[in-house]
Amino acid sequence: MISKKRIGIIGAGASGIACALFLKENLVDTEVIIFEKNDRIAKKILKTGNGKCNLSNINLDSTYYYSDFVEYSLNHFTNKQCAQFFRRIGIWTKYDEEGRMYPYSEKANTVVDGFLHALNEKNVSYQTDYYVNHIKLADRFLVYSDRYQVENVDFLVFAMGSAASEKEECNYSLLTDMGHTFDTINPGLTSFITSTNTKPLAGIRIKAKVKLLKNNMLIQEAVGEVLFKDQGLSGIAIMDLSNYYEKDSYVELDIAYDQEEEELMEFLSHDLENRVFGLFPKMIAMDILKRTATKNLAEVIYQIHHYRFNILHVAGIQQAQIVVGGLKKDEINPYTMESNKITNVYVIGELLGVGGRCGGYNLHFAWASGFVAAQDIIHKIKGE
């Protein structure tokens, strides 16, 4: 006999909705209610993947994340399971040539509409315009809104996401009031504002191998597009590295990483200055030559492989796609997503600040952590 428990989820975003659906796949008669501060659900999902919603990635392991906290979730909710989950709720998916998974329609609103349909079909209640601003621990959790509404639940899942690309701060005090602590929260998947002048190069896109270094020590590297902007650098490779930014770090671009060194030397050894213009966009060629005092071959080759930009800071949270850092990981059990401090409290999704790279990794962790939390709650309620 399954008791009449009530499960509350704060946040109708990626992780909260997925968690609710996983719960209802197994706990048909248990009430699941989602509290959402916005006037509609899943607003952020509409912005993802330039409106196409990069749901997941076929190449999935913890090296694509800032924190290895993700390990268990990734092993227990694989990319294949992810595709099956979307199929179960009526969304067909596909992959691009780099293994990124999208809805077949390439439209984020297909995902949001699919979620709406599935939530209704599975009888998940959701209250919009319900900004949770206080939680009281009694026999059950009392969940208060800023409009003096109150709901009580037996299990409480925090799925509030982050302030990345949002106007408002995230209400971390709900968790700190319960005794949780947060590491520094940094913007992730964002641009670098550089002290090296990039204005003349603004608008140029190149493919490069990019190293993030500090005191000549490698912090992290990435291969991909670099976009020069008025005040610094962006593009996928830079965004990936921004998750690992440390004060006083800098980047070096290898802008001929995919060329045979000998062939490159041979090519440049005749008429060096002209040939640099035959290799790179004009403004980059000019910049490379400006940086080489002697204009000799060895120095030019060095610049090409170590094209350095000093970083002032990363762009702010409003320009970022995610945050990195967040809740202290040792306060959450990675095998269940349950708080080690308060029984029946769970934390999922971006609140955990695990810092996935571009390519569907952050949404995948949102689904996966929602899945892991749901399995534990199901297990408890079914008393297995």
Ligand X SMILES: Cc1cc2nc3c(=O)[nH]c(=O)nc-3n(C[C@H](O)[C@H](O)[C@H](O)COP(=O)(O)OP(=O)(O)OC[C@H]3O[C@@H](n4cnc5c(N)ncnc54)[C@H](O)[C@@H]3O)c2cc1C
Residues in contact with ligand X by the rule CB under 6 A: 10-16, 35-38, 43-44, 47-49, 53-54, 130-132, 159-161, 164-165, 170-171, 321-322, 349-350, 360-363, 366
Rounded to the nearest 10°, the torsion over CA 71, 360, 97, 207 is: -100
The nearest distance, CB 187 to ligand X, in angstroms, is: 11
Which residues touch 275 (CB under 8 Å, ≥6 apart)?
Answer: 267, 268
User: 186 or 292, CB closer to ligand X?
Assistant: 186
User: 111 or 301, CB closer to ligand X?
Assistant: 111
User: 42 or 193, CB closer to ligand X?
Assistant: 42
How far apart, in whole angstroms, are the C-alpha atoms of residue 98 and residue 100?
6
Phi, psi values for residue 185, rounded to 5°: -105, 120
The nearest distance, CB 152 to ligand X, in angstroms, is: 16
Specify the length of the chain in residues: 384
The nearest distance, CB 194 to ligand X, in angstroms, is: 22
User: 344 or 369, CB closer to ligand X?
Assistant: 369
For the chain, how far is it from start to end, CA to CA, in angstroms? 12
Residue in the shown chain whose Cβ atom is closest to ligand X:
13
User: 47 or 136, CB closer to ligand X?
Assistant: 47
User: 36 or 287, CB closer to ligand X?
Assistant: 36
The nearest distance, CB 52 to ligand X, in angstroms, is: 7
Which residues touch 149 (CB under 8 Å, ≥6 apart)?
Answer: 127, 130
User: 84 or 318, CB closer to ligand X?
Assistant: 318
**Around Cβ 213, how many Cβ atoms within 10 Å?**
18
DSSP conformation class of 339: B
The nearest distance, CB 54 to ligand X, in angstroms, is: 3
How far apart, in whole angstroms, are the C-alpha atoms of residue 129 and residue 127?
7
How far apart, in whole angstroms, are the C-alpha atoms of residue 340 and residue 277?
59
The nearest distance, CB 41 to ligand X, in angstroms, is: 7
Structure-token pair, residue 68: 């290895």
The nearest distance, CB 315 to ligand X, in angstroms, is: 12
Structure-token pair, residue 357: 């790279």
